[in-house]
């Protein structure tokens, strides 16, 4: 079938562009080898997409690329100073082009764990809902299991095509080149259901006049963003950084609202009526604004006193967003570091064994000929030094691999599910490894005591690690000298049906007026040192999600003790005392 040309939803509304340079890449990231992107800025990057997937990407009535993805790509190219050529075609052909290297990047691909094995993904720039469409009057279905034995239309190479094949749902799959082909076939009475992206399907249903179709279920919501071939870190970093700049300047939201905002409203809204109501509301608003002007003059002094505080909070939010992007970049850096460290772990034991085999020959030569130079030093000295050096190198490589693994796990965007059974001791040990450098810089006295046979708790290991990291870093920052210590202790509280972690420091302590505000957003006692006041607020929210409790005990000059208490899996229910304590 031939796709009907699509006209843009709105005309472009930007006359000027805000330029901003943001540099926060991990040290050494620029030294990574390029996997598919030239190092000079003269190469044109080929960006691929679907020719018939409105409002995300499509060919307009003049055959030119248009849509949300297209405008976002052009904006990223502008702020990053790179040249791009956008090519739209059949989705399956575009995907094969990325795999073969003919396409450098796809500007819109839904994320899945299976796809993550072959592609690397930037932070998502949209969330795409997948819907099951049916003809009006068709019996509704609740989930994918209900499609067993049915004829289901999907776009060839689409995420739902991948998923149904992988999961062996048992449906008979009918593939088409575009969403429009799938909807036409369904509207014409062929096959039972179509499994397609919700917004494009709603748009095409209206555009093509397919009034006998309706969504009957929405089984998935998937992250949607830029994708490159596995290992193409340089190219992915440029698009990730460009997307972060657009988000921080508000330009991404403007593009999103222009193309996707209207389609996310409820179906069948009378836009002309809304415009009339908006005009009436505008008139009333003008009357209200007159009163606001008078009121603003009365509040001018108070507003002026709070302006600086609001500016600081805005900077803190921008910094938090930058750190989120940095966490994503850390995963890519960790992948590159693992490759050379794996070579060391593989080769060092071989070198150690080879030296052990050669040592008798060298010893015999030493006895017959006397001492001789080896590596610029006498053999009598190097004889014992070489094995020790190889052992130290092997131990260091193992430490690198362990730390990188912890960083990669911590930076990975995890599930929000709290149903994981986890060991508090293991979560604390992982957190301690991640902040080991900060601990060694802060104190010479760091001690841990882990309770034996600690029962498992239920929750999310990554989030618990985040809480422990915040508590340990706060303890490090409270110390006034290396002679002051930090002590971590885990305990089992059988009478309470809970486990606890105690973090005690011998630092400056907290005054009584501040201790009750420690978990308030943006409250910090270290403003002059760059504190954001977000760490304990975020930690308190995570603890509440786990139906736990954070208790603080501190006196100025005597240090601080923070106790994290988490209920065992069996005690987490609606009537749990931990739940009641936080209500």
- CATH number for the segment(s) 420-581: 3.30.565.10
β pairing state of 172-176 and 65-66 = unpaired
pLDDT of residue 395: 81
Residue 424, pLDDT score: 94
Strand 126-135 and strand 213-229: pairing? antiparallel
Cα–Cα distance measured from residue 193 to residue 182, given in angstroms and rounded to the nearest whole number? 9
Q: Which of 193-197, 264-268, 269-273, 435-439 has the highest mean pLDDT?
A: 193-197
Residue 135 pLDDT exceeds 60: yes
Convert the pLDDT of each residue in 225-278 to its tens digit: 999 999 999 999 999 999 999 999 999 999 998 888 766 654 444 544 556 677
Tokens of 123: 């932070």
- The CATH number assigned to the domain with range 128-218 reads 3.40.190.10
The span from the CA of 411 to the CA of 430, in Å, is 13
In this prediction, residue 521 carries a pLDDT of 65
Does the domain at 29-126+224-264 match CATH 3.40.190.10? Answer given as yes
pLDDT of residue 210 exceeding 60, the answer is yes
CA distance 72 to 87: 14
Strands 445-449 and 485-493: parallel
Are 182 and 154 in contact by the 8 Å Cβ rule? The answer is: yes
Element (H, E) at 550: strand 549-554
Report whether 164 contacts 144 (CB < 8 A): yes
CB 158 within 8 A of CB 176: no
- The count of other CB atoms within 10 Å of the CB of residue 82 is 18
Token code pair at residue 534: 């977000």
Q: Do domains 29-126+224-264 and 128-218 have the same CATH topology?
A: yes
Domain spans in the chain, listed from the N-terminal domain onward: 29-126+224-264, 128-218, 270-411, 420-581
Q: What is the mean pLDDT of residues 347-363?
A: 88
Residue 273's pLDDT is: 57
Whether 330 shows a pLDDT value over 60: the answer reads: yes
* pLDDT bracket for residue 34 (50, 70, 90): very low
What proportion of the chain, given as a percentage, has pLDDT over 90? 42
Q: Residue range 163-174: average pLDDT?
A: 90
Tokens 């070579």: give the residue.
Answer: 343
Q: Give the model's confidence band at 21: pLDDT under 50 very low, under 70 low, under 90 confident, else very high.
A: very low
Highest mean pLDDT among 83-97, 252-266, 315-329, 346-360: 83-97
What's the rounded Cα separation, in Å, for the pair 478 and 509?
7
Residue by residue, DSSP assigns 147-172 as GTTSEEEEETTSHHHHHHHHHT---E
What is the chain's Cα-based Rg? 30
Best CA proximity match to 225, nearest among 69, 35, 58: 69
Q: How far is the C-alpha of 421 from the C-alpha of 568, rounded, in Å?
A: 10
Q: What is the mean pLDDT of residues 430-459?
A: 91
Q: Is the pLDDT of residue 494 over 60?
A: yes
Q: Is the pLDDT of residue 189 over 90?
A: yes
- Phi, psi angle pair for 388, to nearest 5°: -65, -40
What integer is the mean pLDDT of 130-151?
Answer: 90
Question: What is the 3-state secondary structure of 253-309?
Answer: HHHHHHHCCHHHCCCCCCHHHHHHHHHHHHHHHHHHHHHHHHHHHHCHHHHHHHHHH
Is it the case that residue 541 has pLDDT exceeding 80? yes
CA neighbor of 317 nearest in space, from 78, 19, 537, 125:
537
Mean pLDDT taken over the chain: 81
**pLDDT band at residue 12, thresholds of 50, 70 and 90?**
very low
Handedness of CA 575, 579, 582, 583 (dihedral sign): negative
Pick left, alpha or beta for residue 67 (phi over 0 → left; psi -120 to 50 → alpha; otherwise beta). Answer: left
Of the listed ranges 190-199, 275-284, 443-452, 502-511, the one predicted with least confidence: 275-284
Per-residue pLDDT band for 411 (boundaries 50, 70, 90) equals: low
């Amino acid at each position: 079938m031939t796709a009907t040309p699509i006209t843009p939803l709105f005309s472009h509304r930007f006359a000027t562009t805000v330029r901003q340079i943001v540099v926060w890449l991990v040290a050494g990231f620029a030294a990574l080898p390029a996997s598919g992107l030239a190092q000079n800025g003269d190469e044109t990057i080929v960006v691929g997409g679907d020719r018939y997937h409105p409002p995300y990407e499509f060919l307009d009535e003049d055959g030119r690329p248009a849509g949300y993805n297209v405008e976002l790509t052009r904006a990223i190219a502008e702020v990053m100073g790179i040249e791009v050529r956008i090519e739209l075609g059949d989705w399956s052909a575009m995907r094969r082009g990325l795999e073969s290297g003919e396409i450098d990047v796809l500007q819109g691909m839904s994320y899945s764990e299976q796809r993550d094995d072959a592609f690397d993904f930037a932070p998502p720039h949209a969330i795409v809902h997948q819907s099951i469409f049916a003809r009006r009057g068709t019996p509704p279905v609740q989930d994918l299991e209900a499609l067993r034995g049915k004829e289901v239309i999907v776009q060839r190479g689409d995420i739902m095509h991948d998923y149904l094949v992988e999961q062996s749902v048992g449906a008979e799959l009918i593939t088409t080149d575009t969403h429009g082909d799938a909807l036409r076939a369904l509207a014409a009475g062929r096959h039972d259901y179509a499994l397609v992206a919700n917004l494009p399907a709603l748009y095409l249903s209206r555009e093509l006049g397919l009034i006998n179709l309706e969504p009957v279920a929405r089984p998935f919501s998937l992250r949607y963003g830029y994708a490159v071939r596995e290992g193409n870190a340089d190219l992915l970093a440029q698009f990730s950084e460009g997307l972060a700049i657009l988000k921080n300047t508000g330009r991404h939201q403007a593009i999103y609202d222009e193309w996707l905002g209207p389609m996310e409203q409820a179906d069948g809204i009378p836009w002309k009526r809304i415009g009339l109501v908006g005009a009436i509301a505008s008139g009333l608003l003008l009357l209200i604004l007159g009163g606001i002007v008078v009121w603003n003059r009365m509040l001018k002094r108070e507003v002026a006193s709070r302006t600086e505080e609001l500016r600081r909070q805005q900077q803190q939010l921008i910094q938090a967003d930058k750190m989120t992007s940095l966490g994503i970049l850390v995963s890519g850096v960790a992948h590159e570091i693992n490759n050379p460290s794996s070579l060391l772990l593989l080769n060092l034991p071989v070198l150690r064994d080879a030296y052990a085999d050669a040592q008798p020959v060298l010893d015999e030569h030493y006895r017959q000929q006397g001492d001789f130079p080896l590596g610029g030093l006498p053999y009598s000295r190097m004889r014992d030094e070489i094995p020790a050096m190889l052992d130290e190198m092997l131990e260091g490589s193992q430490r690198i691999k362990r730390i990188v693994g912890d960083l990669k796990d911590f930076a990975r965007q995890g599930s929000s599910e709290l149903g994981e059974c986890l060991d508090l001791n293991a979560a604390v040990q992982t957190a301690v490894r991640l902040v080991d450098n900060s601990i060694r810089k802060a104190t010479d006295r760091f001690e841990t005591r882990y309770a034996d046979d600690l029962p498992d708790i239920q929750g999310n290991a990554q989030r618990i690690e985040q809480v422990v990291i915040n508590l340990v870093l706060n303890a490090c920052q409270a110390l006034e000298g290396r002679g002051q210590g930090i002590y971590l202790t885990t305990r089992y509280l059988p009478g309470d049906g809970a486990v606890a972690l105690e973090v005690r420091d011998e630092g400056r302590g907290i005054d009584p007026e501040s201790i009750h505000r420690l978990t308030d957003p943006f409250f910090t006692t270290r403003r002059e040192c760059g504190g954001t006041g977000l760490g304990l607020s975020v930690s308190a929210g995570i603890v509440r999600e786990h139906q736990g409790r954070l208790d603080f005990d501190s006196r100025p000059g005597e240090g601080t003790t923070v106790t994290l208490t988490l209920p065992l899996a069996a005690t987490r229910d609606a009537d749990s005392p931990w739940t009641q304590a936080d209500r």
